[in-house]
Structure 1
């Protein structure tokens, strides 16, 4: 896999063989998945640390929102 593609790809295993490695079932037998999100920013000479931190938080928030939207059709509310 191309490294640039790997850096922006999230893979969630869906097969039962991953039950013990990547997921657990709660009391209602529903699976819970954990996604570890990372975001970065480019630091240059005139960077403002507060702006760079805010940029990283915004990027991670966008990823989290995308995951929420993608899984919403499969979750009973």
Structure 2
């Protein structure tokens, strides 16, 4: 089973209004904001704002839109795969 992680040089938070993801690079201190309506997936946001990758991956299995988001996050190295 493939496991997904936040890239080692990134910190990820889901905005409090569930309108997207914010990635902060600990390498170059840049910030990337990705707009995506996460309101149907509010359980993917932990109390401290971090993403619950286990629940995120479960949502990806049943919803093509969030699955496409995951593919884009992998493509642009916000997420990494671990086999």
Higher-strand-fraction structure: 2
Larger radius of gyration: 1
Higher-helix-fraction structure: 1
Q: Structure 2 length as normaliser, TM-score?
A: 0.28
Q: Which has the higher contact order (CA 8 A, sep 6+)?
A: 2
